[in-house]
Chains A and B, each alone.
Chain A
Amino acid sequence: MSKHHVTTTINGEPMEFLCEAQQTMLDVLRDELHLTGSKEGCGSGDCGACTIILDGKLVCSCLMLGVEAEGRKVTTVEGIAMGDTLHPVQQKFLEHAALQCGFCTPGFIVAAKALLDENKNPTEEETRYWLAGNLCRCTGYDKIIRAVLDAAAVMRGEASA
């Protein structure tokens, strides 16, 4: 079985890769492109550790085939910071200590960034529902929610970075 040649855009850069049909996008990111920020937690779409943004929509990269990236635009956690400047969500995760082991963090960062791209002023409830597909077994979520709401305030210019 020949490999598929896929032309795509990842974190703003044109990218080509070869993959087999059964390889997931997560496999491709980690094993072929060495973008190991996205994690495999459950492999079944429950935990959100593999979360990426595909053409502006949040998806689990473990539930997507690599070949499906053809012609699409993908953002991973590696594409969230602007050069050496952390995204407000990343900065606030640090300040609020919204992580302990860190395994779930890339998924939360990507999901939270997608939320704030769409909704500049989410309520706590909206934020909790939006992030219901991201599981954290360390922090108990409270710090994560505070970090996201604080990042939103920074992005609205209502709080200091």
Chain B
Amino acid sequence: MPRVSYTAPATVDEAVKALASAAGLTKVLSGGTDLLVQLKSGRVKPDLIVDMKHIPGLIGIREEGGFFVIGAATPGVMISANEKLEHAFPGVVEGVDLIGSTQIQGRASIAGNLCNGSPAADSVPPVIAARGTAIVAGPKGRREVPVEAIVTGPGRTSLEKGEFVVEFRLPKPKPRQAGAYLRFIPRTEMDIAVVGVAVDVTLDAGGTCTDARVVLGAVAPTQLIVEEAAKALIGHKLDAETLAKLDAAAQKACKPITDKRGTIEYRTKIAGVLARRAAAIAFERAAARA
């Protein structure tokens, strides 16, 4: 691999300084499961790698008031092992769990999955569906942004020079609120999503949906929040007519490409099917919390 400099700051401020003051291209290192592949292939040629894992809080999960806070570099294996987090956000844990192999789970993080900018990132739709926000640190201080505002296109983010994601904040679910994430791949493990769908719903005591978010992955240049799909659910129980409207709204929102994993037509149809199935799981989970 080409030569590169490496630094492992101990604080957020040091990290911001390192990122902001470096000449040339800088790359943030969390688990490295995307970055090292890109380094080796020559796709990215950074002058400096900034390893965030020595900053306190960057690895770990904590509860803070009404929120779960997940450190940006927390590996998948720690996220899956956290029972309270899994109970609160089963959809998020499902998404994280689908990233790569056991070995990849040992290192890969949500921040890396997000900032790599892949439309097919499995952890991103469920975090958006859960109304997750990212705390971004930079030369001008900290800002809190909705997770959906980070990725602007394949491989591109809205982060400015010197900025990086410190942690994610997920508001604890309300009573009878739950999420689910499903992805489709042509095999059972170790592949990239053809389509991913996250659904998050809140029900009233009678099982009618009072709030919803539906997020599609791998069918557009970025993850998509489909307002029309949420509208199809809100005010309704999960009957055949509601599912049909949800399916149609999900399909209508798709702007996919054709590649070796699936055609435009195939991805669009699957998005509708997965939306139905993910909604059914989310409704069942939410009802079980009554």
Binding site for B on A (CB under 8 A): 1, 4, 20-24, 43-46, 48, 51, 54, 57-60, 62-65, 67-68, 70, 111, 114-115, 129-134
CA distance A129 to B104 in the complex (A): 13
Docked-complex contact B36 and A133, CB < 8 angstroms: no
From B40, B53, B107, contact of A59 by CB (8 A): B107
Closest CB of chain A to B204's CB: distance in Å? 37
Say which size band chain B's interface belongs to: 20 to 34
A67, closest chain B residue (CB): B6
Given A64-B36, A65-B49: A111 in contact with B2 (beta carbons within 8 A)? no
Closest CB of chain B to A13's CB: distance in Å? 22
Docked-complex contact A21 and B3, CB < 8 angstroms: yes
Closest CB of chain B to A50's CB: distance in Å? 9
CA distance A63 to B5 in the complex (A): 17
Interface centre among A54, A58, A65, A130 (most CB of B within 10 A): A65
From B4, B53, B102, contact of A133 by CB (8 A): B102
Would you give 8 A-B contacts (Cβ < 8 Å), ordered by A? A20-B3, A24-B1, A45-B100, A60-B33, A64-B32, A65-B32, A67-B8, A68-B53
Known pairs A45-B37, A65-B29; list 8 more (Cβ under 8 Å).
A1-B3, A21-B49, A24-B36, A59-B106, A63-B31, A131-B102, A132-B101, A133-B103
B6, closest chain A residue (CB): A21
CA distance A96 to B10 in the complex (A): 48
B18 in the interface (beta carbon within 8 A): no
CA distance A20 to B4 in the complex (A): 8
Docked-complex contact A57 and B100, CB < 8 angstroms: no
A24, closest chain B residue (CB): B36
Docked-complex contact A132 and B190, CB < 8 angstroms: yes
For B167, list chain A residues within 8 Å (CB).
none
CA distance A21 to B6 in the complex (A): 6
Mark interface residues in B29-50 (1 if CB within 8 Å of A CB, else 0): 1011100110110000000010
In the A-B complex, the 3 residue pairs with the closest CB atoms: A133-B101, A21-B6, A57-B106
Closest CB of chain B to A41's CB: distance in Å? 12
B2, closest chain A residue (CB): A22
CA distance A68 to B70 in the complex (A): 21
Given A20-B3, A64-B32, A65-B36: A45 in contact with B49 (beta carbons within 8 A)? no
For A65, list chain B residues within 8 Å (CB).
6, 29, 32, 36, 49, 51
B53, closest chain A residue (CB): A68
For A131, list chain B residues within 8 Å (CB).
102
CA distance A43 to B190 in the complex (A): 16
A1, closest chain B residue (CB): B3
Docked-complex contact A21 and B5, CB < 8 angstroms: yes
